[in-house]
Structure 1
Amino acid sequence: MPTTAPQTTDELYQALQDNDRRPYGRTRTVTAEELVDAAEQFAEPVPLVHALLELQEAYTYGSEPRKSPVVFARLLTLFDEQPDIFDDRLRHMLFWRFKWVSNALRALPEIPLASLRQWLTEMRDRYEKAGLGLHPYYGQAYQLAAHVGEDTALAYELWAGRSRTRLSDCEACEICERALYHLTAGDDERALRAWEPVLAGKESCQEEPARSLSYALLPLLRTGRTDRARELHLAGYRGCRRNPSMSGEVGRHLEFCALTGNEARGLELLAENRNLFDEVDSPLDQLDFLTGVEVLLQRVGSLGHGELPAAGYAGRTWTVAGLRAEVRDRADDLAARFDARNGTAAHTSRRRARLDRAPLLDTLELTLRTRSLDDVTPASPVAATAVRPDAAVPDSLPELILRARTSDEQGHPDAQACWARLRTLVAARDYTHPDDPAVGPLARLRADLLADEANRAGERDRFADAAALHEEAAALYEDAGAPGDAALARACVLLATAEIPTEGADGPEAKAAALTAAHASLVRMHEETPGLTPHQEARLLRLRATALALRLQTTGSEEHVAPVFAEADRLRAFATRHDLAGQISGAQLLRATTYAISGDLPTAVTETDALLERLKAHGPAWHLPRTLGLRGRLQLVLQEPQAAYTDLAEGLRLAADWPGDTVDPTRLHTDLAEACLRLGRPDEALRHLTRSAELDLRRGSRTDAYCTYSNAAQLSLDLGRVEDCIALLDSLLAEPDVAAGELDDRLVAQLRLTRARALHAGEDLKAATAEFVALAAESAGWDDDPGSHAMIAAETAVLLAESGDFGRAREAADQALAAHARAPRYEHLSNSLRELARLQAQQQGPDGLPDALAVLADAGRVADEARAAGYEAHGRSLDTALAYEHGRVNAYAGAYEDALAALEQALALLGEPGREDDDRAGEWAECVRLAGAVEGLYLERPAPARTRLDAAIARLTALGHTEETEPLTSLAARLRDEE
């Protein structure tokens, strides 16, 4: 919005141009209104015409149909009074916008039908008087007939059978109208055939293809084209999200979600578009949007989730059921108003048809993050423990308590179900503890429940909580007369306390020291505690071994290896004497991991193989998935991805038989993703990554989940699945903890950066540039990470250059150079600077050459610094790339002699390729081709150019690089033809 009113017409035109770059919405509309006020101060009428045209456009695409006809009336009066001020372009725009007014009047039920017809007569008379063809008039007449619900056959033929004119709607819009005619007649196949040029991206305009995509979704499903429907949903939704003038399209995407088993995604998209409840001023668009919203809410309610929160009108909190009632009343009223105006029941009937549609598919995986309504249901105050569906929980309370303790001693997963049931029973106000000596007092049961809670806290790395809970359990065990259990709880306190993270650079050393001290204390406790049962003594031995194993993981020191083996062997011998299968397995697993950490991978595999054989013969079966997971990871390190995949897939299959707290499936999914990538199966890898991330989210490990999702987003972008990547990141960035700033800001920035790159790959340059500019501004404050700011600012400079904003591009490049001086990013910065120079020369020609060369000079200094630092680029050398770019930049600017000299320097730096240098052969051939084109075509020296090309062709052919010769052969032939 301008801070001061334009004082000259030049300032006014610049302000109008600046406003035209803004997205449609209140800011653009208010600015356009102010610019009309400013234009009225000038004596010249032409600036006012331009300002009024901008204001009408803002009203039209800002969904304010009541105001658009008023502005047009002023334009029409100016045209009638001073037709000479309208040049051909302004006259064309004026007559084009008769259609805008027709659309606006149709959208307002308070405008009588007679007035709509009168306006069409006015349009026809004006077109005839101006000598213009009537195809646009008949198009509007057909659209009115379709809106009212009349028999449209004649109106359609009168429009569709006529030749198009310069004032006809664009091809994409007319294709959509023709397709909708066939769709209304029930002919899905014919509608889709008509739509194909738009769906394929061959025709587009301001609102296309987003409008057509939204209408085509259900016909695609009905004709079995589910993959195409999924693809177009992702692309089409991004084209209309949050846009008030496309609220109807958003409503159809919500309806699509409701009819494909994606109700949770529908609620997510509804939340993202909550602005549309209050920003859409068009009654017709409101009706379209609200009907789509109601289809979704009706479906969610029918599935028993009417009490879920839903995003709705501002000013109150909504549930699905409450919002549906409000939406239904408003939409019914709108439909009735349109039908009363039109004298038909068309809008009520169309609305009822949408609401009566049955789901077309039970499930259709729309995004990489597939969630059900259960997944978005707010968690209960106490998270339930996952249990096996077939876990048998005794009805008898004494039997239940004894079963829980026995299962816990064995490490059996069914203990979780028993403890969960007991936790519920004990919390009840009418709980009565059994008077049974075998069960013991209530204090002991409460201690058991605290110990179970402490163990689960430790598994989630909440070590301080775990220590406090174990300490409380120990005191209750003492009160209950269970000294062995009390000792075991205090042993757990020692280990949990040692694992509490220590801040600062000496963190690893402090942790290692704490674990050493904890081990010594555990040994003393073991020696000084009499009367331990075999189960309790084995648990203590396991804790001793675990303390030393954690110390080895922390330090990686060779001197810490032998003590782990000693404790593991002590545990294995004791467990073998007492036939404790779970502890025998634990000891062998500890030995295998210790060999792996110490670098002896073959022995680690041998130990794991032996453990697997024992587990298959003697159990416990629930240790199999974890052991297979370990062997799979070892195979990955040993570069055996197929063997790793086999083990990990089997581990994941077996893990499904047990609760998630018994076997961590997230790690299995992550490792399987790596195996799939090494086997060249990236799509399968993507599925495992997203599954792992969603499981982490459900367990509350949100940072781990977002990190994994970030990797999945990058992989989907690498695979060219741009819309999948954007949809995934949009979903993540809308999560409450992200929106509230509770997640690590660097992780959020990484998600946004990947999204910005995906938007760029998806050719949404405007949105990508806006995100990069924002990230560059934020990362400028990362004093601890100037290297990341250098990379972000460099990419920002390239996007600004693509948009033609070279002033801001230069500023961003300077920021990147300043950050690079603190934390060098040689190759990334060099690549960006060269691209910036190329874009400036390509877009500005000779006028842009001085600035382009200045940018290349900066790239040259970066290359000099890299050479001095001994940096080796991952691709071609920075010097070679720089010489080649000098050639391109000078060629774009018409400095052909300088271009040829630079390309010859690049060829010298590259050197002739060898027989195995496929990549270098391609680079060398392209450099020869460009040099040949500059020399032969632009410098008009075809003979030496042909000599250069022929020599290169012969060289490449002799080396077997025949594919690389094709562009050279084509250029040589062209030079011969032109000679």
Structure 2
Amino acid sequence: MTRSVDQVNAALYDVRRMPYGLARSTAAAAEVERVEAEGPDGARAYALFVLVESYVWGGEVTKAYLPFTKMLRWWDEHPEHFDAEDAHSLFWSFKWMVGHLMEFPTVPAAQIERTLDDMARRYALAGNGTNAVALERFEWARERGGQDVEDAYRAWVATPRDEFSQCEACEPGDRAAYLFEVGRHDEGIRLLEQVLQGSPSCATEPGDMLSHLQLAYLVVGDAAAAARTHRRGLRHLDTGVAMTGPKGRHVEFLARTGNASRALRLLTEHQAFLTETDSPGDRLGFLTSVSVATGALRAEHGDAPLALRDVPAATVAELDDWARREASELARAFDARNGTPAASERLRSAWAAGTRTLPVDLAVLTSAAAPGSSVAAGAGGSDGTTPSAPPDGVIVPGAATSAGAQGGGPATAGAEPSDADGLLALAEGVAGEDPVRAAQLLRRAAALLESAGHLDRAGFTLAEAARLAALEGDDDGAAPAFVHALALVRAGGVAPRFVGPVVRAYARLEAGRGDVSGALAQVERTLDDLAATTDPLAAGSAPRAAELVERDAAADDRERRDLRDTQARLLATAGDLDAAATLAEAVAEDFARAGQVGDAAHAFWLAGRSRCEAGADAEAVDLLESAMAGFAIVHDRETRTAVANELVATLRRLGREQDAAAVGAALSG
């Protein structure tokens, strides 16, 4: 039975709600195939657009050209099947196609110019505004270099905005990127500072503009603004799209500001872009940033080791040589297509500009040894009892028992508090707007609490400072703070089930840093401590009501499951994939028995990913399917789709194309 237009549109709406990736693209392709075979004709334009959109933003740009061509032919042959929204989508897609053609050096210049002319002709025939056409002509002029670039830029900026213009969040970033490229840094900074006073947002913004702005502040010598912008930019890198350029610029920024260890960690995290991106143009951009970074690091850190999977480089110096060769080769390919030396000149200009550095202190917590007196093992809580603990991520005002006990009375009006209570309250008040200051206030409060003997509260306060510091990118300051916080809460007599959340926060940090041995030791110690407290009749245990014993036992069991899940994730990070998968599967079953379906789904997902990474795709399929089923039960559509992306890729590697297509169809059905 042929579906109605409304029924197809509803199915396509469900597809568009899915995160970008293989599962969404597969689902969109299935809808196009069905509409082309069964109709209705009135839904075909929308179906083709959804497939184009899915490919463009899902990392399969080259696949978008066929459905776009089909959509264009459908428009020429049957404009009556396009409503106003379909027509808008067609002309909006033109921008993606023209722009992406430039990203592939194998596409001849003549083809790009023909497509640009066709775009201009069709826009004129439809009575559309010409701002988008002016933008693409500017981008093509910029790509090729030459004397007409500034004129093309001015023509674009002077053309009135219309319904096909770049979104209001993207356009200022595009303008500023050009201004920075030609050395007009003050002008670009003013533009972005004005825009950022609002809340610009889209798939790539404000992350993209912030990544450019941090480097502009570096050039003009404003270290404070550079640090502030870098931290803000880090929070906008995980957007569901690749963000290849911004991630490369953050690596470059860290290298040029004296933050070598951070630069190398971020580079290692995003190393896949060294060899594989959505387009050769994206790869050239990333390699440019990386080669600038390695050039800045080479003199002092050339022998620093790197753990790279697919690149023949074991040190910074070797990566610098490799990245420069790869970037130069790509630039020459673009030059050959463009008929100009512009790409190679831009690369050399970036290398020259990269020699300009500026020390920028990105520390949130100091790297010195944690303050306060030495921790006496086995010390009790501040009131001689076993204290409780706050929930994860909660700042606890009033953690001190009295102001006078913390080394100072109430602060005078207008001055920063000198007592723990006041510091905690102030930290809570500023955390939303200034997490860096909040973390520093909390560290001071923790030192006062520790000096006064309130070890439990000092530990939780310091852990919260470490959590905020980690969120702001200060892994080097957060890690020792977490370790000291754990020593404090244990010495303060905190029950293991309350120590567990701090251990897990520390483990997440160390997983990102790549060295998980310390975190694994903390997890194992806490699991041992939990095992030692499971017997309510153990020697020295005080008699308690049965319901309290049952409640605490249930809480211990839940924390034990969470810690074992963390242990599996740390093992995966360490590369012990078989052990990680085996443990994750066991933990998933424990979660399921306890009724924690969402947690079970995440653990099955980890087990499946670990099997895939170990090359055991066949063993991963059932695990990934179990994860998808769990996320369906808890109505977590977005995460279910993320798992489906991996399942589709796994099935395709196994040659099970029909099964892969069925996964996409099931998601959109």
Return the TM-score normalized by structure 2.
0.60
The 1:154–1:688 alpha-carbon spacing in structure 2 relative to 1, beyond 3 Å, is closer
The answer (yes or no) to whether the contact 2:303–2:315 under 8 Å persists in 1 is yes
Q: Does 1:356 align with 2:352?
A: yes
The answer (yes or no) to whether the contact 2:214–2:230 under 8 Å persists in 1 is yes
Q: Which amino acid aligns with 2:177?
A: L
Q: Deviations over 1:421-450 (max 9, x none)?
A: xxxxxxxxxxxxxxxxxxxxxxxxxxxxxx
Q: 1:30 aligns with which of 23, 26, 50?
A: 26
| 1:548-567 equivalent positions in 2, closer than 5 A | none
Q: Does 1:230 align with 2:227?
A: yes
The answer (yes or no) to whether the contact 1:29–1:59 under 8 Å persists in 2 is yes
| 1:220-619 equivalent positions in 2, closer than 5 A | 220-241=217-238, 245-313=242-310, 318-358=314-354, 362-366=358-362, 368=364
Looking at structure 1, the residues matched to 589 and 96 of structure 2 have their Cα atoms a distance apart, in angstroms, of: 44
The answer (yes or no) to whether the contact 2:291–2:324 under 8 Å persists in 1 is yes
| 1:676-825 equivalent positions in 2, closer than 5 A | 677=423, 686-687=439-440, 710-713=463-466, 731-736=509-514, 742=520, 744=523, 746=559, 781=591
The CA deviation at 1:144 is 0.9
SS of the counterpart of 1:275? Answer: helix
Q: 1:205 aligns with which of 202, 221, 232?
A: 202
The answer (yes or no) to whether the contact 2:365–2:474 under 8 Å persists in 1 is no
The CA deviation at 1:123 is 0.8
Looking at structure 1, the residues matched to 82 and 132 of structure 2 have their Cα atoms a distance apart, in angstroms, of: 21
The 1:688–1:174 alpha-carbon spacing in structure 2 relative to 1, beyond 3 Å, is closer
The CA deviation at 1:219 is 1.4
Return the TM-score normalized by structure 1.
0.42
Q: 1:642 aligns with which of 407, 415, 420?
A: 407
| 1:868-883 equivalent positions in 2, closer than 5 A | none
The CA deviation at 1:712 is 1.5
The answer (yes or no) to whether the contact 1:267–1:310 under 8 Å persists in 2 is no
The CA deviation at 1:103 is 0.6
The CA deviation at 1:179 is 2.3
SS of the counterpart of 2:159? Answer: coil
Q: Does 1:165 align with 2:166?
A: no
Structure 1: any 5+ residue segments left out of the alignment? 1-5, 376-385, 387-459, 462-548, 557-595, 600-634, 646-671, 694-703, 754-773, 790-807, 814-979
The CA deviation at 1:213 is 1.3
Where does residue 194 of structure 1 map in the other structure? Answer: 191
The 1:212–1:370 alpha-carbon spacing in structure 2 relative to 1, beyond 3 Å, is farther
Structure 2: any 5+ residue segments left out of the alignment? 386-399, 411-417, 429-435, 447-456, 479-504, 528-558, 567-583, 600-630, 637-669
The answer (yes or no) to whether the contact 2:116–2:133 under 8 Å persists in 1 is yes
Deviates more, 1:330-339 or 1:294-303: 294-303
Looking at structure 1, the residues matched to 458 and 320 of structure 2 have their Cα atoms a distance apart, in angstroms, of: 33
Where does residue 125 of structure 1 map in the other structure? Answer: 121
Looking at structure 1, the residues matched to 6 and 275 of structure 2 have their Cα atoms a distance apart, in angstroms, of: 36
SS of the counterpart of 1:365? Answer: coil
Q: Deviations over 1:678-712 (max 9, x none)?
A: 6957867734877999xxxxxxxxxx999776421
Looking at structure 1, the residues matched to 270 and 177 of structure 2 have their Cα atoms a distance apart, in angstroms, of: 25
The 1:554–1:123 alpha-carbon spacing in structure 2 relative to 1, beyond 3 Å, is closer
Looking at structure 2, the residues matched to 132 and 45 of structure 1 have their Cα atoms a distance apart, in angstroms, of: 25
SS of the counterpart of 1:640? Answer: helix
SS of the counterpart of 1:23? Answer: coil
Q: Does 1:60 align with 2:56?
A: yes
The answer (yes or no) to whether the contact 1:182–1:191 under 8 Å persists in 2 is yes
Looking at structure 2, the residues matched to 555 and 76 of structure 1 have their Cα atoms a distance apart, in angstroms, of: 74
Looking at structure 1, the residues matched to 444 and 252 of structure 2 have their Cα atoms a distance apart, in angstroms, of: 26
Looking at structure 1, the residues matched to 352 and 424 of structure 2 have their Cα atoms a distance apart, in angstroms, of: 48
The CA deviation at 1:56 is 1.2
Q: Deviations over 1:65-107 (max 9, x none)?
A: 3222222111101111111110000001101111111111110
Q: Deviations over 1:871-925 (max 9, x none)?
A: xxxxxxxxxxxxxxxxxxxxxxxxxxxxxxxxxxxxxxxxxxxxxxxxxxxxxxx
C-alpha RMSD of matched pairs (Å): 4.8
The 1:322–1:13 alpha-carbon spacing in structure 2 relative to 1, beyond 3 Å, is farther
Looking at structure 2, the residues matched to 365 and 42 of structure 1 have their Cα atoms a distance apart, in angstroms, of: 62
The 1:737–1:9 alpha-carbon spacing in structure 2 relative to 1, beyond 3 Å, is farther
Where does residue 537 of structure 1 map in the other structure? Answer: none
The 1:244–1:88 alpha-carbon spacing in structure 2 relative to 1, beyond 3 Å, is closer
Q: Which amino acid aligns with 1:138?
A: A
The 1:243–1:327 alpha-carbon spacing in structure 2 relative to 1, beyond 3 Å, is farther
The 1:705–1:96 alpha-carbon spacing in structure 2 relative to 1, beyond 3 Å, is farther
The CA deviation at 1:778 is 7.5
Where does residue 143 of structure 1 map in the other structure? Answer: 139
The CA deviation at 1:312 is 4.9
Where does residue 655 of structure 1 map in the other structure? Answer: none
Looking at structure 2, the residues matched to 680 and 349 of structure 1 have their Cα atoms a distance apart, in angstroms, of: 52
Q: Which amino acid aligns with 1:106?
A: M
The answer (yes or no) to whether the contact 1:260–1:360 under 8 Å persists in 2 is no
Looking at structure 2, the residues matched to 741 and 40 of structure 1 have their Cα atoms a distance apart, in angstroms, of: 54
Looking at structure 2, the residues matched to 690 and 35 of structure 1 have their Cα atoms a distance apart, in angstroms, of: 55
Looking at structure 2, the residues matched to 14 and 739 of structure 1 have their Cα atoms a distance apart, in angstroms, of: 50
The answer (yes or no) to whether the contact 2:138–2:152 under 8 Å persists in 1 is yes
The CA deviation at 1:643 is 5.0
Where does residue 91 of structure 2 map in the other structure? Answer: 95
Q: Which amino acid aligns with 2:265?
A: E
The CA deviation at 1:367 is 5.3
Identity %: 31
The answer (yes or no) to whether the contact 1:24–1:58 under 8 Å persists in 2 is yes
The answer (yes or no) to whether the contact 1:673–1:685 under 8 Å persists in 2 is no
The answer (yes or no) to whether the contact 1:368–1:690 under 8 Å persists in 2 is no
The CA deviation at 1:17 is 2.9
Looking at structure 1, the residues matched to 592 and 187 of structure 2 have their Cα atoms a distance apart, in angstroms, of: 56
The answer (yes or no) to whether the contact 1:65–1:104 under 8 Å persists in 2 is yes
The CA deviation at 1:167 is 1.6
Q: Which amino acid aligns with 1:711?
A: E
The answer (yes or no) to whether the contact 1:673–1:684 under 8 Å persists in 2 is no
**Larger-gyration structure (1/2):** 1
Looking at structure 2, the residues matched to 705 and 254 of structure 1 have their Cα atoms a distance apart, in angstroms, of: 35
Where does residue 47 of structure 1 map in the other structure? Answer: 43
Question: Relative contact order: is structure 1 or structure 2 higher (C-alpha 8 Å, sep ≥ 6)?
Answer: 2
The answer (yes or no) to whether the contact 1:138–1:159 under 8 Å persists in 2 is yes
The 1:359–1:281 alpha-carbon spacing in structure 2 relative to 1, beyond 3 Å, is same
